[in-house]
Amino acid sequence: MCRIFKKYMSALCHQTFLPLRIGPFLACFCLFVSPHIALAGETAVEPSGSGVDMLQDSTDEDDARSSETSAAAEKLVDAVPAHEHDVPLADAVTTAEGLAEPLQLLGSEIAPGSSQRLAWSATELFEGVPVSTPVLVVNGRQPGPILCLTAAVHGDELNGIEMVRRVLHDIDPDKLSGAVIGVPIVNVQGFRRGSRYLPDRRDLNRYFPGNPSGSAAARIAYALFTNVIAHCDALVDLHTGSFERANLPQIRADLRNPDVVTLTLGFGSMVVLHSEPTVGTLRYAATSAGIPAVTVEAGGPSQLELAEVKHGVKGLETLLTTLDMVKKMRLWGDPEPVYYRSSWVRADNGGILLADVSLGSTVRKGDLLGTITDPMSNARSELRSPFSGRIIGMARNQVVMPGFAAFHVGIQADDVEAIEGEQDPADLAQESRTGGYVDGMSE
């Protein structure tokens, strides 16, 4: 199975992707995803033990009940079909013909060469008072694709809110080809409470594309998806780490989709982590509806981190430039991103976690990542890196329980083959499938 897939991917790489130089990555990636591919057609399942992560990692036991089980029980509608795309995303501007048209969105008409701030009201608060959130729209003077930016699907993830604001307000509609739609605060109820979740403790990012007659989460998801997302030709969903963890700015993308690869290349030299989207995420639902989507992770929750915000804005403005939607707004050095696979290093003992590395650190196999000290017995244990790579996500210093996912080590795609045989292939396949996803965390 894998050999056939490898051959197919190899041919595809040489015909289509060779200029992108990711052929070797896809070939070796095959080695790790084949068990999943063999299961194609079966229902996707969460990684085993994921519920345990949630229990262990949450400081509030109620959070553990939040979404993970209810999402699985709830029937979501099939992805709402988006409009057809006849040309690859990379050629959307150059092949666009005629004049730009007015954009119809949320009951308003945005003329070419203009910007508008609209209000989107997904649902009512539990008190029955409608709550609306802004939708920023810039419709370009010239025709082209519609790029959508969403942030704060998790209400405590603030960096993306500022990224959307900066990017949208920097665009001159007279010089734009296509349109940019920004929803800076998707989960406005969570945002107002400083919480990742909706008021009913559900994780909104497990309910897309939603259901108009389902739970509150499914209804909000459905409203966003049908009213806004279905108008998009491409989507970037902005997130941060969660639960006292921070992420090196990175793109999470399913590199089997050529238009998604176009997006990842567009950001300039930003780290790219291959991950198949989890069912129910906005990225999953959008891609299923034919809208190429990536997630950008940058920093941690509950704070505004200027360096991460600037990094994200630089990537997004580079994307607008490489998609030809704007002329040389920004171009970021080497346009080739760095592809990673990844694995989490977990605590074997409980205690006080103190890190010896920082985000972005390059580590070698066996390097000390951090220590955990039992505050009662003073017993100390060490966490060491299982392979050479880079720290792309990590927990802040805190008290942890055994099993806590502490350090996220990215393994450069070129090096994946080198570590083959050092780890159970099934583990690698699972992590590759999920991009190191730990339930209840991150995207």
| Interface residues toward Zn ion, by CB under 5 A | 154, 157, 239
By the 8 A CB rule, do 149 and 181 touch? yes
Q: Between residues 153 and 363, which has the closer beta carbon with respect to Zn ion?
A: 153
User: Nearest distance from residue 247's CB to Zn ion, in Å?
Assistant: 10
Q: Which is nearer to Zn ion, 9 or 311 (CB)?
A: 311
Instruction: Output the smallest distance, CB 196 to Zn ion, in A.
Output: 7
Question: Toward Zn ion, which CB reaches closer, 195 or 264?
Answer: 195
Pick 179 or 309: Cβ nearer Zn ion: 309
**Shortest spacing between CB 56 and Zn ion, in angstroms:** 19
CB of 205 to Zn ion, least distance (A): 6
What CA–CA distance (Å, rounded) separates 395 from 441? 11
Determine how many CB atoms are found less than 10 A away from the CB of residue 52: 12
- Cβ 259 to Zn ion, closest distance in Å? 23
Nearest distance from C-beta of residue 1 to Zn ion, angstroms:
34
Residue 227 parent element (H or E)? helix 216-227
Q: Which is nearer to Zn ion, 179 or 395 (CB)?
A: 395
Please, are residues 85 and 316 in contact by the beta-carbon 8 Å criterion? no
Smaller CB separation from Zn ion, 154 or 202: 154
Q: Which residue is nearest to Zn ion (CB)?
A: 239
CB 267 within 8 A of CB 318: yes
Q: How far apart are CA 206 and CA 149, in angstroms?
A: 18
User: Tokens in use for 348?
Assistant: 């074997």
At position 373, the amino acid (one-letter code) is T
Nearest-CA neighbor of 411 among 432, 388, 430? 388
Do the strands 142-151 and 234-239 form a parallel or antiparallel pair, or are they unpaired?
parallel
Task: Find residue 272's DSSP bridge partners.
Answer: 251, 339
Half-sphere exposure of 127 (CA within 13 A, CB side): 4
**CB closer to Zn ion out of 139 and 159:** 159
Nearer to Zn ion, 154 or 231 (CB): 154
Extract the runs of DSSP E, i.e. beta strands, from 152-274: 177-183, 234-239, 245-253, 271-274
Measure the CA–CA gap between 302 and 305, rounded to whole angstroms: 10
Q: How far is the CB of 94 from Zn ion (least distance, A)?
A: 34
As measured in angstroms, the least distance from the Cβ of 81 to Zn ion is 26
Nearer to Zn ion, 154 or 245 (CB): 154
- Give me the phi and psi of 160, to 5 degrees please: -65, -30
How many residues are listed for the chain in this entry? 443
Distance, in Å, from the CA atom of 302 to the CA atom of 47, rounded to the nearest integer, reads 27
| Angle (nearest 5°) at CA 315 between 311 and 319 | 170
Q: Tell me how far, at minimum, the Cβ of 97 lies from Zn ion, in Å.
A: 38
Question: Residue 442's closest CA among 400, 395, 390?
Answer: 395
Cα distance between residue 67 and residue 72, in whole Å: 8
Nearest approach, Cβ of residue 283 and Zn ion (Å): 11
Minimum CB distance to Zn ion smaller for 245 or for 314? 245
Task: Tell me, rounded to whole angstroms, the distance of Cα 234 from its chain centroid.
Answer: 13
Least distance from Zn ion to the Cβ atom of residue 135, Å = 19
Hey, what amino acid is at 319?
L
CB closer to Zn ion, 140 vs 300: 300
d(CA 358, CA 370): 10
Rounded to 10°, the helix 425-434/23-38 angle is 100
